[in-house]
Every structure is written in structure tokens, then in C-alpha cells.
Structure 1
Amino acid sequence: MQTTARPPSTEEHDGCPPDIATMRASARRFLAEDSTPPSAHELETLTLQLRGHMQLLIPEVDQVIARLPEDDVPRYCALACVGEARRKLDIAPRPGLSAGIAHARRLARSLNALCDHYENFSGDRS
């Protein structure tokens, strides 16, 4: 059974900036060339962690890019990244450990890109 965390609403947001360093460390777990493949149980936990990070960061990136001019090319790139991240959150991995790892790698790359956009537009270099 796959469950997803609900991102905080505007009223629930605590005003703290996202922990980009922790998010990048989670992504690095799947993107490092020398990383040891996780067990099936670890994979499920790590994938849920990546998904949770993305669900927290997407609204943050949305807020940051909303302040940019409408005709700004980097804004369009960030909007495309957010759209792609949302689509990846809607995809269920195929059965099997290797398919799950491939899915987690796609989520990790998307999370890294969201972190890049957040840092570039918010000025927050964690």
C-alpha cells in the first residue's frame, strides 16, 4: 500500500525554509555512482522520503517563482521542472527492485532540480 504525505497548507506552514541539505543528501543516496543498492524495505522507505521532500518543496518553489516576471525564461524553466516533478509523483513504480530503484533515481533527479531552482531564486544556499 502506497501512501502519500499531504503538503502543509498555507495556514500550516511554519515559515522555516526547507532543509535543502537534507533533501540533497536523500537524493544523493540514489544518484551517487558508488552507492550500494538498497533492500526492498529500504527502497520503500527512501522512496517515501524522496516523495515527501518533493511534496514539501514544490509549493516552496511555486512561491519563489511567482515573484519573478511573467516573461522570464528561468521562470519558465522552473515551472517546467515543477510540472515534471508533479507528474513523477503521480507515477507508480513497476514491480521489482530494479524498477523501484530506477523510479527512485528519477525522483531524486527531480528533487535535485527543485533544490537548484529553490536556491537560485530564493538566494538560500544551504
Structure 2
Amino acid sequence: MQQATAPALESGTADLRPLDVTVMRKAARRLLAEDAELPSDGELDTLMLQLRGHAMLAIPVVEALAARLAEDDVPRACALVGVGEARTRLGLEPRHALPARIADAQRLARSVNALCDHYENLCQARP
């Protein structure tokens, strides 16, 4: 199991710890796979907390990696849009009906996947 790691930073900059994109993607796949079984109410609560945690860990890392690139860099712009979308999804009020909660969790899972993609792309594109 290979894991992408963040580049080392100079002292005095943001703390960029490597993200375990394998674990993050596995959690997202739990809701997004074509053959995914719908989680029970309790499983959904746990999964939503896990996805929220993954997003909260990934956002500052992706944002800091993007900040290292030139302002007109396309991967930087894409990553920052993904960060904004993930923040928006984290800020939404929780809904109560199970189908709505599943839809919300699936949206957050897509954001977690996107953050993983941006992280991997930015680690490869670093200056």
C-alpha cells in the first residue's frame, strides 16, 4: 500500500503532515461505489463523522500546497475551488431525513475524493 506524502516544509510554515489518501478514499468509497450498500442510521452517523474529519485534515494541507504554486497556476486554482467546495459542505446544517442525510454524506465523500486528487496532484506538481 503506497501513500503519497507531503513535501517537507521550511520552519515557520504551515504543518503539512502526510495524508493517508488510501484510508480517506476507502471511507468515501463506502458511499460512492456502484455496489455500495446503504448504511444504517448509526453507520451513517459514524461515516459522516469520519468523512468530516478527513475533510478537516485535508483542507489546510491542500490549501498550503496550493499556496506554493504561482497564482495563475491551473492546479492551484482547481485545488482552491475544491477546498472551497469542501468547506461549504462542512458548513451545511445537518438534515434529519435518512435519504437527505445519505445524499449529504455522498456529497461530502465526493469532496474528500476531490481533496485526495488535489493532494496527489499538488505533491507531484510542487516547484
- Shared fold (TM-score, shorter chain, > 0.5): yes
Two-structure CA RMSD over aligned residues (Å):
2.0
Q: Which structure 1 residue ranges, 5 or more long, are not aligned?
A: 1-9
1:120 corresponds to 2:114: no
Match of 1:32 in 2: 33
Q: Tell me the amino acid that sits aligned with residue 107 of structure 2.
A: R
Q: Which has the higher contact order (CA 8 A, sep 6+)?
A: 1
Match of 1:84 in 2: 85
Q: Tell me the amino acid that sits aligned with residue 81 of structure 1.
A: G
Match of 1:57 in 2: 58
Q: CA deviation at 1:76?
A: 1.0
Match of 1:48 in 2: 49
Q: CA deviation at 1:92?
A: 2.1
8 Å CA contact retained: 2:62, 2:118: yes
Q: What is the TM-score of this pair, normalised by structure 2?
A: 0.83
Aligned to 1:69, the other structure's residue is in SS state coil
Q: Tell me the amino acid that sits aligned with residue 109 of structure 1.
A: R
Match of 1:108 in 2: 109
Mapped partners of 2:53, 2:109: distance in 1: 11
Q: Tell me the amino acid that sits aligned with residue 19 of structure 2.
A: P
Q: CA deviation at 1:33?
A: 1.2
Aligned to 1:38, the other structure's residue is in SS state coil
Q: What is the TM-score of this pair, normalised by structure 1?
A: 0.84
8 Å CA contact retained: 2:79, 2:118: yes
Q: Tell me the amino acid that sits aligned with residue 32 of structure 1.
A: A
Q: Which structure 2 residue ranges, 5 or more long, are not aligned?
A: 1-11
Structure 1 segments (4+ residues) deviating >3 Å: none
Aligned to 1:94, the other structure's residue is in SS state coil
Q: CA deviation at 1:85?
A: 0.5
Mapped partners of 2:30, 2:66: distance in 1: 28
